[in-house]
Amino acid sequence: MTGTTVLTRSADETRDVGRATAGLVHAGDVIVVAGELGSGKTTFVQGLAAGVGIAERVVSPTFTIAREYVGSVRLVHVDVYRLERAQELLDLGLEDLADDAVLVVEWGDVAAGYLPADHLAVRLTPGPGADTDERTVSLTAGGPSWGARADAVAAALDAR
Ligand SMILES: Nc1ncnc2c1ncn2[C@@H]1O[C@H](COP(=O)(O)OP(=O)(O)OP(=O)(O)O)[C@@H](O)[C@H]1O
Ligand SMILES: [Mg+2]
């Protein structure tokens, strides 16, 4: 696994990280966005969605579990944190959802055991400073498909 870590100082900067990542995704990809409540997971997904040409504002899929958006690729946004039982996750049939879409799963830790090894893991943590708008955003490429793009991920973040 190869990773890149960046610091963001605002929600817009986290959106920029998502937007930078968008150039690397294609249908069939799985992106797992982890981090505590309010860490900026949905904010990252907003940037990613904008980067693949989705004009609609991405919101947390609170009532529907999964929301679908269409840009240059189809993007399926799932928020697993709101699920009460692992069975509900299995019932979603994540592999099928991801078949011809980019599947973005918020709160990957809960779902970790059910996700394919080949995914881009995005983790948001508050800090390192005391500023409440600071986040450490780390992107880790797992599996052969994302592993092959690890250098490209680092380059895209550098080019923000
Ligand atoms: N550097 C930053 N990156 C991302 N969000 C930030 C940052 N600084 C401040 N924020 C604010 O933190 C909040 C993040 O909310 P967001 O819904 O993206 O979090 P979340 O991790 O998806 O939460 P939840 O666990 O409820 O799904 C927003 O209000 C955003 O404006
Ligand atoms: Mg969210």
7-38, pLDDT tens digit by residue?
999 999 999 999 999 999 999 999 999 999 89
Distance 123 CA to ligand 1 centre (A): 12
Distance 106 CA to ligand 2 centre (A): 7
Q: What is the pLDDT of residues 108-147, one digit of tens each?
A: 666 777 778 899 999 999 999 899 999 999 999 999 999 9
CATH number of the domain that residue 110 is part of:
3.40.50.300
d(CA 85, CA 125): 25
d(CA 31, CA 141): 9
Supply angle C-alpha 67, 71, 74, rounded to 5. Answer: 50
Across 9-153, the runs of DSSP E, i.e. the strands, are 30-35, 66-70, 74-79, 102-106, 119-126, 135-142
Residue with the smallest CA separation from ligand 1 atom 31 is: 11
Domain count, the chain: 1
Distances, alpha carbon 16 to alpha carbons 23, 98, 112, 146, in Å: 12, 24, 26, 20
Give me the domain span that covers residue 76: 2-158
